Homo-oligomer: A and B are copies of this chain.
């Protein structure tokens, strides 16, 4: 049987080849545990330099769900809550991990995965104009970059959102599980430096962007730096062999590999988008990054599913299903060619 070609996600291969090479080259070395090693130190330095944030605290966590709920749990008190988009990963895909830590999550209706500064202002104002003892306090805004629908915020949009947060004393936390694909997009006018400057805390996703696993949390707000390591430990996010993450991030970030491989995936995704448009297959959302959401007919689904794996999001209407095609740092040109041809001949 011919092997299926995977376009269902961006975490279906072990790691980018430089990462694997680095692992092999250090296979005989012995390191101190729990992230107190030289690789974590080196990667932290590289990240601070890229972010132009020499005072930032950098922490490496194995997974993105961990990063999300631990950042939130460490940042807000039991009587404070989180605002996010109703398509936000913490609201829809993480088994109520934030509520598990005791916090209400208030979801605002998203458009193409994004929310606006006006929406945030309205939600914040509703509380802060007349605080009530029977309400918890909106204290942290969570957004994803890129969003769960592959869209990205512009620098103007993010600046306006940050301004609202600052006005109301709220933290801005950016989930960057797919950060590379966002920053590398031709439509993106934001840089790592902008993110560090405009957020209180964000993370640089490794798991979906070329690493075996690992997310690099960047904390620029001093208040949020306090005791973060204990929060990590308490929630099981201190990896014994922490240097594995330092090593991977250093490898990916020191020479631009991180953005280069994401850029390739984005280009593939936009090539896909072009083909969908040419074939008049409706885009569900205009995404400038590696996730492409389209509406397929049953016939189209049938024609593709024997050779390609893609993610089925749900029935959209009587005739269409919403599906996601996801390119990856690991997508090969030959795989792209095969998929493009298959779509062209639908």
Contacts from A to B (Cβ < 8 Å):
6, 8-9, 11-15, 17, 20, 23-24, 26-34, 62-66, 69-70, 73-74, 77-79, 81, 93-97, 99-105, 133-137, 207-208, 212-213, 227, 229-241, 244, 309, 330
Contacts and interface: CB of A to CB of B under 8 A. Distances in A.
Contacts of A213: 62, 239-241, 244
A76 to B, nearest CB: 10
A267 to B, nearest CB: 20
A111 to B, nearest CB: 19
A95 B135 CA distance: 4
Nearest to A16: B27
Contacts of A28: 13
Contact of A96 (B26, B64, B136): B136
Q: Which 3 A-B pairs have the closest CB atoms?
A: A66-B236, A96-B104, A95-B234
A199 to B, nearest CB: 21
Contacts of A100: 78, 102, 234-235
17 contacts: A12-B30, A13-B31, A14-B241, A32-B309, A65-B236, A69-B236, A78-B231, A81-B99, A95-B133, A95-B234, A96-B136, A99-B105, A133-B229, A134-B238, A135-B230, A137-B230, A236-B237
Chain A at the B interface: SS class: loop
B234 A94 contact: yes
Given A63-B240, A102-B100, A235-B235, A134 B13 contact: no
A88 B308 CA distance: 45
Given A135-B95, A207-B240, A227-B77, A233 B65 contact: yes
A99 B104 contact: yes
Nearest to A9: B33
A30 B8 CA distance: 11
Contacts of A78: 73-74, 100-101, 231, 234
B12 A79 contact: no
Given A30-B6, A63-B239, A234-B136, A99 B97 contact: no
B62 A95 contact: no
Nearest to A68: B236
A235 B99 CA distance: 11
B65 A81 contact: no
A241 B207 contact: yes
A65 B232 CA distance: 11
A310 to B, nearest CB: 12
A230 B66 contact: no
